[in-house]
Amino acid sequence: GQGEQVDEFVVMDLRMPRALAGLIVGIALGVSGAITQSVARNPLASPDILGITSGASAVAVFLVTVSGGAAAAIGGTVGLSAAALLGGLGTGLLVYFMAWRRGVDGFRLILIGISVTAVMQALTTWLLVSADIRDVARAQAWLVGSLDGRSWGEVHIAFWGSLALLLVVATAAFQFKPMHLGDDVAAGLGVRYTRVRAVLLLCAVLLAAVAVSAAGPVPFVALVAPQVAMRLARCPTPPMVASGLLGALLL
């Protein structure tokens, strides 16, 4: 009857995409945070600190405030998500190449990430101050970070993107364990640590960008989940699987 159709609409079209999007985004953020903290060997290294989230936010706000009402014509929510994805990827690559000096040092990576984050946040603030109040309201609604209004199309994009990246991470993870003993030890064991580190960092950047494009800049999940998972699992380094599951639980 009519009641069953309404229930099906509420569950399948409103609630289910939101729940699945939260699950996917939480896993992506948790694994991304575990990778960045392991690579940098620093508990502060997360997509929030390294500028990935702020870069995605700046590009999304630029699209909304500069294009104004034309943002819907450009692609609506999907176009905004794509812009955030490109912004997060571009910012992450910028931080990585700026931190490269015959390798990537964890402290240098964090310091450059904090600097880029400050620049992107300043750019976002300037765009909001200079824009029309209606565009500011639309941008601010996205900047809060929310799962409201997620569609099946966005869930499919986030799912397949995250799945492909997680498969790459799982493939390279077994070479990642010796790197915790130091670069010299890893090289002695035959691990090409520079290449493995670059691949995993790229996956972390893309996972964070996918998460931000799907749900907006959700703060602290990627920072907190790996540390809590590490203490619950009693591991010396952030466990990726437990970090992903805890990220999904937190979100």
**What is the pTM for the complete model shown?**
0.84
The radius of gyration of the chain's CA atoms, rounded to the nearest angstrom, is 19
Nearest to 116 by CA among 47, 32, 206, 195: 47
pLDDT of residue 126: 92
Asked if residue 101 has pLDDT above 90, the reply is no
* CA atoms of 192 and 14, how far apart (whole Å): 46
Asked if residue 228 has pLDDT above 50, the reply is yes
* CA atoms of 240 and 230, how far apart (whole Å): 9
**How many CA atoms are closer than 13 Å to the CA of 223, on its beta-carbon side?**
14
pLDDT tens string 9-36: 677 777 888 888 889 999 999 999 998 8
Q: What residues contact residue 68 under an 8 Å CB cut-off, 6+ apart?
A: 132, 135
Asked if residue 1 has pLDDT above 70, the reply is no
Contact 80, 150 (CB under 8 A): no
| Domain at 2-250: CATH code | 1.10.3470.10
pLDDT of residue 72: 47
Q: What is the mean pLDDT of residues 115-120?
A: 92
Q: What is the mean pLDDT of residues 199-215?
A: 86
Instruction: Dig out the tokens for 28 from the structure.
Output: 């992506």
Of the two residues 73 and 45, the one the predictor is more confident about is 45
Residue ranges per structural domain of the chain: 2-250
According to DSSP, the residues that pair with 104 across neighbouring strands are 100
Asked if residue 236 has pLDDT above 50, the reply is yes
pLDDT of residue 132: 82
pLDDT of residue 73: 46
